[in-house]
């Protein structure tokens, strides 16, 4: 049977994405020369820190992932961490970050730009411990904001919002007292508006990938989603995702595809092995395109989920009638939005994660799931075998690949390639000629 060939084209905004990533890390390296503080912490904390005057936020997880892309340097980092007695099965982003600081080597050149303070959310089991440990070793002050555990998004929602908002208030006061810098409420409010719109734009990009043929592949989306992780609440973030959304809309209208041949649509579960993104090229040899990823969608996006479980793009703040006037409004909005994302519930319930993954498979018309059993992330890797059983019960083929998102020592490339090629063949796919 002759396959349909689709039109393809590179993304016009791809170069801008690369420039923004490097720009952020240069800004951090030059912060002290510019008279600015560096505050670091987990990705979701960035918008909360945005109101602190004369400061830059450096998200820790993307930095650990950047190091992972360079296995020789990553090995030096994790060995520097392990030599201090830390276990090899701990978060590999964290071990990369710690090692880079212990070695005083910044991946983007020069000495490590040691933060003036750490402010983080605590949802994964390592988040607070990440910075508490650096407080012990380096004396850097830290503050952790706990995401309250929950198993049902709607249950006790007001109580959880109160709990998280109260901690956010405390974090703001702590930042002012610790750094001596004033917290600008108007700047925080504007950051929330910009961040909400940027996340909504990314959510629309993800929704557009339901189109057949898919306008984007997950390998590219792993690069595109990181801008929000780096620039939360900043104008550059909003401008980039507006541009990306408009370009993907145009690709759909013109029938521009991620791959010239789309023989099979797949969902990728978990973070990828950043040092081995070749794994996606192997699938592409069979015309198989990864069109969705729960982690890749929800880290930078915000979705509505209706009573039937269908995912959608959230309405604008104007459509919701939301007008943030003061710190109280802003902090509660921040707490409500964080707790309503389909991201944090999967840390506490296999049933929530099962529901999300099964819905993504159905809604994005994926034929099978590629599941990375990631030894480098305890938080997101938990429940994966329960998720596998739920998929098999629903008659959805799934392959598990053992590895690590940031430690190349944990992945056997030959075994992964062999298993993946066998799985492609089990789906009735053959390598495309040429």
Separation CA 279–CA 420 (nearest Å) = 8
How many residues would you count in the chain?
Answer: 434
Closest of 204, 286, 196 to residue 248, by C-alpha: 204
Backbone angles phi, psi at 183, to 5 degrees: -95, 125
Closest of 263, 269, 162, 256 to residue 209, by C-alpha: 256
- DSSP summary character for residue 181: P
Residue-wise pLDDT tens digits, 353-393: 999 999 999 999 999 999 999 999 988 888 899 999 999 99
DSSP string for 295-355: HHHHTT---EE-TT--EEPPPPHHHHT----SHHHHHHHHHHHHHHSTTGGGGT-HHHHHH
C-alpha of 62 from chain center: 8
- Encoded tokens for 152: 């049902």
Residue-wise pLDDT tens digits, 282-297: 999 999 999 999 999 9
Beta bridge partners of 269: 371
Predicted local distance difference test score (pLDDT) of residue 346: 78
Are 260 and 54 spatial neighbours (Cβ–Cβ below 8 Å)?
no
Predicted local distance difference test score (pLDDT) of residue 434: 66
Residue-wise pLDDT tens digits, 261-316: 999 999 999 999 999 999 999 999 999 999 999 999 999 999 999 999 999 999 98
Residue 2 confidence class, pLDDT cut points 50, 70, 90:
confident
Q: How many helices and strands (H and E) does the chain possess?
A: 19, 12
Which residues are CB-neighbours of 304 under 8 A, at least 6 positions away? Answer: 311, 312, 313, 314, 315
Q: Say whether pLDDT at 329 is over 90.
A: yes
Q: Give the residue-averaged pLDDT of 329-333.
A: 96
Q: Is 298 exposed, middle or buried (0-12, 13-18, 19+ CB in 10 A)?
A: buried
The pTM is what? 0.95
How high is the mean pLDDT of the chain?
94
């Amino acid at each position: 049977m002759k396959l349909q060939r689709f039109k393809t084209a590179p993304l016009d905004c791809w170069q801008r994405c690369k420039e923004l990533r490097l720009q952020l890390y240069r800004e951090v390296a030059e912060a002290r020369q510019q008279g600015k503080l560096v505050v670091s912490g987990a990705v979701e904390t960035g918008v909360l820190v945005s109101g602190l005057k004369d400061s830059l936020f450096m998200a820790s997880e993307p930095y650990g992932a950047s190091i992972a892309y360079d296995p020789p340097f990553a090995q030096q980092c994790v060995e520097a961490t392990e030599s201090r007695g830390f276990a090899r099965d701990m978060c590999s982003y964290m071990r990369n970050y710690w090692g880079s600081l212990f070695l005083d080597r910044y991946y983007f050149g020069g000495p490590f730009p040691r933060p003036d303070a750490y402010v983080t959310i605590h949802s994964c089991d390592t988040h607070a411990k990440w910075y508490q440990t650096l407080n012990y070793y380096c004396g850097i002050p830290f503050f952790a904001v706990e995401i309250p555990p929950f198993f049902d998004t709607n249950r006790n929602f007001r109580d959880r919002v109160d709990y998280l908002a109260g901690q956010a208030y405390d974090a703001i006061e702590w930042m002012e007292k610790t750094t001596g810098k004033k917290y600008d409420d108007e700047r925080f409010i504007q950051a929330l508006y910009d961040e909400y719109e940027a996340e909504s734009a990314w959510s629309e990009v993800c929704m557009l990938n339901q189109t057949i043929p898919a306008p984007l592949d997950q390998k590219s989306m792993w690069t595109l989603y990181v801008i929000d992780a780096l620039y939360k609440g900043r104008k550059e973030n909003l401008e980039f995702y507006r541009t990306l959304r408009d370009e993907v809309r145009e690709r759909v209208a013109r029938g521009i595809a991620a791959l010239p041949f789309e023989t099979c649509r797949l969902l990728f579960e978990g973070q990828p092995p950043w040092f081995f993104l070749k794994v996606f090229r192997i699938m592409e040899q069979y015309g198989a395109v990864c069109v969705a990823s729960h982690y890749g969608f929800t880290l930078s996006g915000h979705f509505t989920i209706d009573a039937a479980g269908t995912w959608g793009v959230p309405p604008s703040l104007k459509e919701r009638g939301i007008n943030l006037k003061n710190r109280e409004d802003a902090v509660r909005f921040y707490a409500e939005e964080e707790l309503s994302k389909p991201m944090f519930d999967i840390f506490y319930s296999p049933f929530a994660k099962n529901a999300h993954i099964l819905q993504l498979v159905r809604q994005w018309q994926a034929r099978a799931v590629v599941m990375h059993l990631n030894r480098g992330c305890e938080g997101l890797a938990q429940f994966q075998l329960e998720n596998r059983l739920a998929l098999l019960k629903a008659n959805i083929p799934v392959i598990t690949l053992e590895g690590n998102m940031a430690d190349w020592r944990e992945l056997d490339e030959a075994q992964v390639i062999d298993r993946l090629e066998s799985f492609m063949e089990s789906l009735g796919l053959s390598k495309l000629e040429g």
